Amino acid sequence: MTASPASTLWIAQAPSATDSVLVWWMMVAVVICGFALAFSLLNLRRFAVAPVAVEDDPGWSLTVCIPARDEATNLEECVRAVLRSADADGGSKTTVLVYDDGSEDETPAILARLVAEDPRVRAAETRPLPSGWNGKQHACDAMGRQATSDWMLLIDADVRLAPDALMRTRAAARRRTGANPEPALLSAFPRERTGGLGEAMVIPLIHFILMSYLPFGRMRNSLDPAASAACGQYMLVRRDAWMEIGGHASIRSSMHDGVLLPRMFRRGGHATDVFDATDIVECRMYEGFAETWSGFVKNAYEGLGNVLLLLLLTVLHLGGHVAPWCVVALGGIDLVLDLGIPFLEPATGLALAAIGLQCVQRSVIATRFRQDPRVVVLHAPSLVLLTVIQWWSLVMHLTGRRSWRGRTA
């Protein structure tokens, strides 16, 4: 019996199980990207900038703590920016404490000159790095124990403060944002300046991850350690609470204080919060792709904390965000070469919808945080690169080869 032309055509066009899987896959991708966009829009409303300081603000006693290891190109500009902000905050008593962490460049000479010029600048007492400590955590712990103020602001040497940054940070610390009490740890996410393409592909993902996954509502209405975040570049802590949790000694071996320190505060019964400092603080985190790679590899896995979460993010990012670009590329090839693959049309349509949602999300985030506009079209390769960094960070973590500025700790 010979099949009719109509039945032959139907068989040729009938979708296979593989075809159906691809269509369903793209439907899931649309859901993943749609959820990320919706969650980001909600979080962007909650992630407010610091309020303007009120006129009758009583001020505070504050120590700005700056760990410095080979920071000759950054230290002076950082300290002078802090002093200008302290000048604008006349009602407060502000001290700048710098820990020279075994620098081999001109950092010690620059620090000595700054100390001689302004009595508000002090050089912290130093000692050799003990076994089992990360260099930055040791420096921050030493400065915290030498400080005598009620509050401490821990910043990196590549951070630059606007003149009103300290006043507005204090106003943010006194702002209630949920059921939790005023935070004992308040962290700001600065404007992250980037230079080359390598920096632009990776560094802006900090805000993408923050907006896509941090449950702001739960963070501000519970003390759940998992519902917390911070940026190690700019963290304000109430010193008595910091002492109560054991200071930075509680995270002595960590290379990711931005994740672990707020969790320690919450385990100790203290609230933590974050705010948007794009308009009052900026930072050039890394310069060039090589430094960006090394900087993220040192703590990308530690920031996640377990392999299951790494696997989940890998599936979400590659399967939900990157795969649609591959499907669209395949659909373009089919269109140009006229291959006549029927199942590609619905799959490509869904993939384009997922890409559209991604582009809206990255465009909104890039505009809000003053990011390089190239991040929008670089979304897919950026997530591929981030995934490689995270898995390589796991390898370095397991083999004990994570390092930064010549140290494995």
Q: What are the pLDDT digits (tens) for 374-385?
A: 999 999 999 999
Per-residue confidence (pLDDT) for residue 5, from 0 to 100: 44
pLDDT band of residue 7 (cuts 50, 70, 90) is very low
- Residue 7 or residue 308, greater confidence: 308
pLDDT band of residue 183 (cuts 50, 70, 90) is very high
Tokens encoding 108: 């010690």
Q: Where are the alpha helices (DSSP H) in 49-193?
A: 75-87, 107-117, 135-146, 165-173
Q: What are the pLDDT digits (tens) for 53-101?
A: 776 778 899 999 999 999 999 999 999 999 999 999 988 999 999 999 9
Q: Summarize the confidence of residues 149-155 as an average pLDDT.
A: 98
Measured between alpha carbons, how far is 111 from 115 in angstroms, rounded to an integer? 6
Burial label, 281 (beta-carbon count in 10 A; 0-12, 13-18, 19+) = buried
Which has the closest alpha carbon to 254: 305, 308, 219?
Answer: 305
Length of the chain: 409
Q: What are the pLDDT digits (tens) for 331-369?
A: 877 666 666 665 677 889 999 999 999 999 999 999 999
Q: Judge whether residue 296 has pLDDT over 50.
A: yes
Average pLDDT score over the chain: 91
Measured between alpha carbons, how far is 255 from 103 in angstroms, rounded to an integer? 19
Per-residue confidence (pLDDT) for residue 168, from 0 to 100: 96
pLDDT band of residue 159 (cuts 50, 70, 90) is very high
Per-residue confidence (pLDDT) for residue 402, from 0 to 100: 82
Superfamily, domain 61-286 = Spore Coat Polysaccharide Biosynthesis Protein SpsA; Chain A (3.90.550.10)
pLDDT band of residue 10 (cuts 50, 70, 90) is very low
As a whole-number percent, the residues of the chain with pLDDT over 90 amount to 83
Q: Summarize the confidence of residues 259-276 as an average pLDDT.
A: 97
Q: What are the pLDDT digits (tens) for 218-228?
A: 999 999 999 99
Q: Summarize the confidence of residues 310-337 as an average pLDDT.
A: 90
Which has the closest alpha carbon to 291: 196, 210, 365, 150?
Answer: 196
Domains in the chain: boundaries: 12-43+307-399, 61-286
Per-residue confidence (pLDDT) for residue 2, from 0 to 100: 46
3-class SS letters over 276-314 = EEEEEEEECCCCCHHHHHHHHHCCHHHHHCCHHHHHHHH
Measured between alpha carbons, how far is 41 from 212 in angstroms, rounded to an integer? 9
Per-residue confidence (pLDDT) for residue 342, from 0 to 100: 59
Q: What are the pLDDT digits (tens) for 98-142?
A: 999 999 999 999 999 999 999 999 999 999 999 999 999 999 999
> What pTM was estimated for this model as a whole?
0.91
Per-residue confidence (pLDDT) for residue 338, from 0 to 100: 65
Measured between alpha carbons, how far is 360 from 352 in angstroms, rounded to an integer? 12
Q: Judge whether residue 3 has pLDDT over 50.
A: no
Q: Judge whether residue 285 has pLDDT over 60.
A: yes
CA neighbours within 13 Å on the CB side: how many for 404?
A: 24
